[in-house]
Amino acid sequence: MDYFKLKRQKKARYNLSIYLMIVIAYAIVMFLSYQGKISSLLNGLLVPFCTYSILAVSLNLVVGISGELSLGHAGFMCVGAFTSAVFTRYMKFLGVEGLYLFIIAILIGAVTAGFAGLLIGIPVLRLKGDYLAIVTLAFGEIIKNIANAIYLGFDENGAHFSLKNTMALGLSDKGFVVIKGAQGITGTPHYSSFTAGVILLIIVVTIILNLVNSRTGRNIKALRDNLIAAESVGISATKYKLIAFTIASSMAGVAGVLYAHNLTTLTALPKNFGYNMSITILVFVVLGGMGRIRGSIIAAVVLTLLPEMLRGLSDFRMLIYSIVLIVVMIFTSAPAMKQYMEVLKNKFPIIKNLKAVTLKKFSKEGE
C-alpha cells in the first residue's frame, strides 16, 4: 500500500471514530433515559455538554488548526445567543411558536456571529500571538458590555432601541420590551434538546473535518506551521485565516443559540459571556489536544462534569477544580514529565500502547 493511501485510511478511521463516539454516547443516553435510569443532574447537563463541545470544537479550529490564540470566543457565542433569542422571544410575543422557528434561530445566530467574526477578523488577524489574544479578549468584553446596555422593544410602529432605559424606548401601550438592559431577555422559549444538540454537534464536526481535509484546510495548516514559507508559495494569509476565524465564530454563534434556548433567562454576566467563559473554552481545547476534534469533545464533557461531580466537597469544590487544572497541565505539558513517560514507556511495553492513546490526546502537536 502506498504512503498516501495509508494516510488517507488512517484519517478516515479517525474521523469515523469521532462520529461513532457521538452516536454511541447518544444511543446510551437515549436508552437510559427511556428506561428512566438517568439522574436529573445528568439529564440537565446533556444540552450543556453539546453547547460546550461545539464551542470547544469551533475554538479548536482557530487555536489548534489555524494556530491563532483567541480569548474572545464567548463574545461570538453572546452575539448568537442574543440575536436568536430576540427573534424567538418576539415571535413568542406575537403568538408564533414551533420548532421550525428554532431552525431559523440557529441560522440567525450562525449568520450574525459569523458576520461579527468577519468584521473583527479583517483588521485583527494581522496581529500575531499574544496581541491577537488581547484584542480578542477586549472584543469579548466589549460585546458583553454592549449586551448589558441595550434596551430593545417592539410596538406597532416597529422596533425601538435605546442605551438608556425602558422609558427612553417610548413604546406605545401595546409595546413589548425584548431586551431590558442588564435584566436581559426573559421567557425565551425552551427549544434546545439533547437530540438537537447532538445533530448540531455532528454538523459542526462534519464541516470542520471536511474543511481540514480540503485544500483550504491544508492551506490554513500550512500558514500555521510556517507563515513565511506558505505565503511565499502564494497562499494568502489573511484570506485563509479569515475563513477559519469566520467559520469558528459562526459555530460559536450556534452554540449560543443552543445555550439561549436551554434556559428561560438570558443575561450577559461575566460568568457566561465574559473572558472567564472564553478561557474555560480554551482550557477544553488545550486539555483535549490542539487540533484534536475528538479530544476537544471529551475534554468539554469531562470538564463540564467535573465541577458537578465535586459538589459533595461543597466549599472546597472550586479550589479542588483549580488544583486539578494546574496538576493536569503540569503532568501533560511539562517537558520533564514527557521525558519521564518516555523512560517508562521503554521499560514497560504495555505503557507504550496506553501512552500512545493518552498522550496523543494531550500532546500539543496537531494532526
Partner 1 sequence: MDFLTYFVNGLSLGSIYAIIALGYTMVYGIAKMLNFAHGDVLMIGSYITFVFMSQMGINPIISVLLAAICCTFIGVIIERIAYKPLRGANSLAVLITAIGVSYFLQNIALLIFGANTKSFKSIVTIPPLKLFGGQLIISSESIVTITLCIVIMLALTTFINKTKMGQAMLAVSEDRSASTLMGINVNGTIAMTFAIGSFLAAFAGVLLCSAYPTLTPTTGAMPGIKAFVAAVIGGIGSIPGAFIGGLILGVLENLSKAYISAQLSDAIVFSVLIIMLLVKPSGILGKSNIEKV
Partner 2 sequence: MKKLLSVLLALTLATTLFACGQKQATNTTAETTAAATEAPQVFKVGGIGPITGGAAVYGQAVQNGIKIAIDEINANGGFNGYQVEYHFADDEHDAEKAVNAYNSLKDWGMQLLIGTTTSSPCLAVADKTVADNMFQITPSGSAVDCTANPNVFRMCFSDPDQGIASAQYIDSHNLAKKVGIIYDASDVYSTGIYEKFVQEAAGKNFEVVAEEQFTADSKTDFTTQLTKLKAANADLVFLPFYYSEAALVLNQAKQMGYAPTFFGCDGMDGILTLENFDKSLAEGLMLLTPFSADATDDLTVNFVGEYQKRHGEIPNQFAADSYDCAYALKLAIEKANVTPASSVSDICNAVKSAMTSITLKGLTGDSISWKSNGEPNKTPKAVVIKDGAYVLAN
Does residue 24 contact residue 32 with C-beta atoms inside 8 Å? no
- Residue 311 lies near partner 2 (rule: CB under 8 A): yes
- Residue 321 lies near partner 1 (rule: CB under 8 A): yes
Nearest to 328 by CA among 275, 301, 289: 289
What number of chain residues touch partner 2 (CB under 8 A)? Answer: 65
- Residue 78 lies near partner 1 (rule: CB under 8 A): no
How far is 177 from 170, CA to CA, in rounded Å? 10
Does residue 166 contact residue 153 with C-beta atoms inside 8 Å? yes
Select the binding partner of residue 56 from partner 1, partner 2, none (C-beta < 5 to 8 A, by kind).
Answer: none
- Residue 306 lies near partner 1 (rule: CB under 8 A): no
- Residue 40 lies near partner 2 (rule: CB under 8 A): yes
In angstroms, give the least distance from the CB of 234 to partner 1. 16
- Residue 290 lies near partner 1 (rule: CB under 8 A): yes
- Residue 85 lies near partner 1 (rule: CB under 8 A): no
- Residue 104 lies near partner 1 (rule: CB under 8 A): no
- Residue 193 lies near partner 2 (rule: CB under 8 A): no
Among 8, 128, 239, 360, binds partner 2 (CB under 8 A): 360
**Chain centre distance of CA 80:** 12
Residue closer to partner 2 by CB (options 219, 262) is 262
Does residue 91 contact residue 154 with C-beta atoms inside 8 Å? no
Nearest to 223 by CA among 215, 232, 231: 231
Select the binding partner of residue 193 from partner 2, partner 1, none (C-beta < 5 to 8 A, by kind).
Answer: none
- Residue 245 lies near partner 1 (rule: CB under 8 A): no
Among 86, 110, 135, 254, binds partner 1 (CB under 8 A): 135
Q: Which residues of 71-93 are buried (b: 16+ CB within 10 A; e: fewer)?
A: bbbbbbbbbbbbbbbbbbbbbee
Angle at 294 between CA 353 and CA 289, to 5 degrees: 75
- Residue 166 lies near partner 2 (rule: CB under 8 A): yes
Residue closer to partner 1 by CB (options 165, 264) is 165
Q: Where are the beta strands (DSSP E) in the chain?
A: 151-155, 158-162, 176-180, 185-186, 265-266
- Residue 346 lies near partner 2 (rule: CB under 8 A): no
Select the binding partner of residue 142 from partner 2, partner 1, none (C-beta < 5 to 8 A, by kind).
Answer: partner 1
Residue closer to partner 2 by CB (options 183, 193) is 183
- Residue 239 lies near partner 1 (rule: CB under 8 A): no
How far is 105 from 30, CA to CA, in rounded Å? 25
Question: Which positions from 105 through 144 interact with partner 2, judged by CB under 8 A?
Answer: 141
Residue closer to partner 2 by CB (options 125, 169) is 169
Torsion of CA 185, 186, 190, 194, to 10 degrees: 60
Among 127, 207, 351, 359, binds partner 1 (CB under 8 A): 127
What number of chain residues touch partner 1 (CB under 8 A)? Answer: 50
- Count the helix, strand and coil residues of the chain and give each as a percent rounded to the nearest 5: 75, 5, 20
Nearest to 248 by CA among 288, 195, 194, 296: 296
Q: What is the edge-to-edge ordering of all strands in the sheet holding 176-180? A: 158-162, 151-155, 176-180
Question: Burial level of 1, CB count in 10 A (0-12/13-18/19+)?
Answer: exposed
Q: Which residues bind partner 2 (CB under 8 A)?
A: 10, 13-14, 17, 20-21, 24-25, 28-29, 32, 37-45, 48, 141, 145, 148-149, 165-167, 180-184, 186-187, 190, 259, 262-267, 269-272, 294, 298, 301-302, 305, 308-309, 311, 314-315, 317-318, 353, 356-358, 360-361
